[in-house]
A = this chain, B = another copy of it.
């Protein structure tokens, strides 16, 4: 566990404020990102109550990591995991319990055991939107590792190399610079030629061609914090349409970042980007961005569905793109941190 105990304490107390505000007394936490946020562990099940907090872990973890729990200040009571024990604990209390958006079968099992249907909440995800100073430091380090990987991409992407070979070089560079895992579930995205129009293309055995574009979307993980950035790299020289769209998207990304300010609806960021892309005569196929932290994608979603407001402490991506099916695509993406006085770009 690499998180400061003072961080855990302040997070628990914020969750308790959230519980009170929603009229709840306890929260059952089992999602990996939320467990990591509240306990510093990457596994286990926790219940955070207004007056106490319990973490259930498998016995092997407790023994192996026991040095951690010898610290008298660890703010959760650690017990040996057994789902039956967790249910017994919950049943034994007259309480108003909040649960996360778990699978319907898990929820039914819980509701059966409890004898009532507990409400689902997003208290932890909502609190996680606002990063502490400690978290911003972790995210900055993660972003600096990602930038080293991107430097490597600019170095190796060239005609004749396959997408997969280039991806291998970049992923290796990320590891060598301290990334705790390859970025994302699928590894980095590195697409060339007409594959750039496929938003979720995986690196293939296709060779990179001259006079074309390559989209590289990558990140790192440092002390459990992710980073995420995208560049569209030019190989050789571009045709008129490719060049124009590439410049347009790059400028749009920078203009969008310039317009960010505390207090504006997150939705307005997306609406601006979408309007500009439509004005240019194209469609915008995905949302403008997403929060980044203990997960690559977390709240806020920078989309037209968002009801969030831009607040100090938020870290999210801005990633406009244009994709012309079977021809080419362009995307630029940076991670921004909303500071008290200014918007800081973490991936530049």
Residues in B neighbouring A65, C-beta threshold 8 A: 198
> Which of B102, B182, B326 contacts A63, CB < 8 Å?
B326
Pick the residue among B165, B180, B202 that contacts A181 (CB under 8 A).
B202
Docked Cα-Cα span, A203 to B172, in Å, equals: 13
Q: Tell me which of A85-93, A103-111, A311-319 binds B.
A: A103-111
Q: Are A178 and B200 in contact (CB under 8 A)?
A: no
Question: Given the complex of chains A and B, what is the CA–CA distance between A102 and B101 in angstroms?
Answer: 10
Given known pairs A64-B325, A102-B104, A326-B64, the reply for A175 and B181 (CB within 8 Å) is no
How many chain A residues touch the partner (CB < 8 A)? 46
Given contacts A58-B285, A60-B285, A171-B172, contact A42 B200 (CB under 8 A): yes
Inter-chain CA distance A172–B104, complex, in Å, is 39
**A43 beta carbon closer than 8 Å to chain B:** yes
- Name the contact of A104 in the complex, choosing from B120, B165, B169 (C-beta under 8 A): B120
Name the distance in Å between A305's Cβ and chain B's nearest Cβ: 12
A176 to chain B, nearest CB (A): 6
Cα-based distance from A101 to B64 in the complex (angstroms) = 33
Instruction: Chain B residues near A323: list those with CB within 8 A.
Output: 60, 64
Q: Is the CB of B165 within 8 A of A176?
A: yes
Given the complex, which residues of B lie within 8 Å of A12, measured CB to CB?
none
Per the 8 Å Cβ criterion, residues 205-225 of A in contact with B are: 205
A187 in the interface, Cβ–Cβ < 8 Å?
A: yes
Whether A19 sits at the interface, judged by CB under 8 Å, is no
User: What chain B residues lie within 8 Å of A175 (beta carbons)?
Assistant: 164-165, 167-168, 171, 187, 203
Is A199 positioned at the interface, with any CB of B under 8 Å from its CB? yes
A172 → chain B, closest Cβ, in Å? 4
Quote the shortest CB–CB distance from A119 to chain B (angstroms). 10
In Å, the complex CA distance between A325 and B104 comes to 35
| Residues in chain B near residue A167, CB distance under 8 A | 175
Q: What chain B residues lie within 8 Å of A169 (beta carbons)?
A: 172
Does B182 contact A182, Cβ atoms closer than 8 Å? Answer: yes
A94 at interface by CB-CB < 8 Å:
no
Report yes or no: A205 in contact with B178, Cβ–Cβ below 8 A: yes
B176 touches A164 (CB 8 A): yes
Q: How far is the CA of A169 from the CA of B107 in the complex (A)?
A: 42
16 extra interface residue pairs, beta carbon distance < 8 Å, beyond A64-B325, A104-B120, A105-B120: A43-B200, A59-B285, A60-B283, A60-B285, A63-B326, A66-B326, A101-B104, A102-B103, A102-B104, A165-B175, A165-B176, A168-B172, A168-B175, A168-B176, A171-B175, A180-B203
